[in-house]
Amino acid sequence: MELYSLSIHEAADLLARREVSSRQLTEAVLDRIRQVEDRVKAYVTVTEELALKQAEEADKRIAAGNAAPLTGVPAAIKDVICTKGVPTTCGSRMLKNFLPPYQAHVTERLLDAGLVMVGKANMDEYAMGSSTENSAFYPTRNPWDLERVPGGSSGGSAAAVAADECIYALGSDTGGSIRQPASLCGVVGFKPTYGRISRFGLVAFASSLDQIGPLTKDVTDCALVMNVIAGHDRRDSTSAPLEVPDYTQSLIPDLKGIRIGVPQEYFVEGMDDQVRASIEAAVNKMEELGAEVDWQVSLPSTGYALACYYIIAPSEAMANLARYDGVKYGYSNMRGDSMWRNLELTRQHGFGEEVKRRIMLGTYALSAGYYDAYYLKALKVRTLIRREFDAAFEKCDALVTAVAPTPAFKIGEKTADPLQMYLSDVCTIPVNIAGLPAISVPCGLADASPEPGRGGLPVGVHIMAKPFDEPTILRVAYAYEQATEWHKARPKL
Helix axes 305-321, 377-395, angle to 10 degrees: 120
Among 34, 53, 60, 234, the residue binding another protein under the rule CB under 8 A is 234
Choice among 130, 135, 153, 424 that is catalytic: 153
CB of 469 to another protein, least distance (A): 14
Q: Which of 183, 220, 342, 440 binds another protein (CB under 8 A)?
A: 342
Amino acid symbol at 125: E
Q: Could you say which of 66, 249, 284, 367 contacts another protein (CB under 8 A)?
A: 367
Interface with another protein (CB under 8 A), residue from 199, 347, 466, 487: 347
User: Among the candidate windows 26-34, 131-139, 182-190, 359-367, which touches another protein by CB under 8 A?
Assistant: 359-367
Verify binding: residue 96, another protein, rule CB under 8 A: no
Of 78, 120, 191, 414, catalytic:
78
Q: Please indicate whether residue 315 is annotated as part of the active site.
A: no
**Which among 69-77, 115-123, 141-149, 320-328 is the span making contact with another protein, rule CB under 8 A?**
320-328
Q: What is the β-pairing status of strands 398-402 and 259-263?
A: parallel
Residue 473 CB, shortest distance to another protein, in Å, is 16
Say whether 78 is catalytic: yes
Binding flag, residue 63, another protein (CB under 8 A): no
The answer to whether the Cα torsion of 223, 224, 230, 231 is positive or negative is positive
Minimum Å gap between C-beta 382 and another protein is 4
| 191 makes contact with another protein (CB under 8 A) | no
Q: Does 14 bind another protein (CB under 8 A)?
A: no
Look up 356 and say whether it is catalytic. no
For another protein, which residue of 139, 263, 330, 460 counts as binding (CB under 8 A)? 330
CB 471 within 8 A of CB 251: no
Nearest approach, Cβ of residue 214 and another protein (Å): 20
Closer of 23 and 386 to another protein (Cβ): 386
**For another protein, what does the binding mask look like between residues 432 and 461, x meaning CB under 8 A?**
-xxx--------------------------
Total residues in contact with another protein, by rule CB under 8 A: 66
Catalytic residues: 78, 153, 177
What does the binding site for another protein look like in residue numbers (CB under 8 A)? Answer: 97-99, 101-102, 194-195, 208, 234, 237-238, 240, 301, 303-304, 307-308, 310-311, 318, 322, 326-332, 334, 336, 338-340, 342-345, 347-348, 351, 353, 356-357, 359-361, 363-364, 367, 374, 376-384, 386, 418-419, 433-435, 467
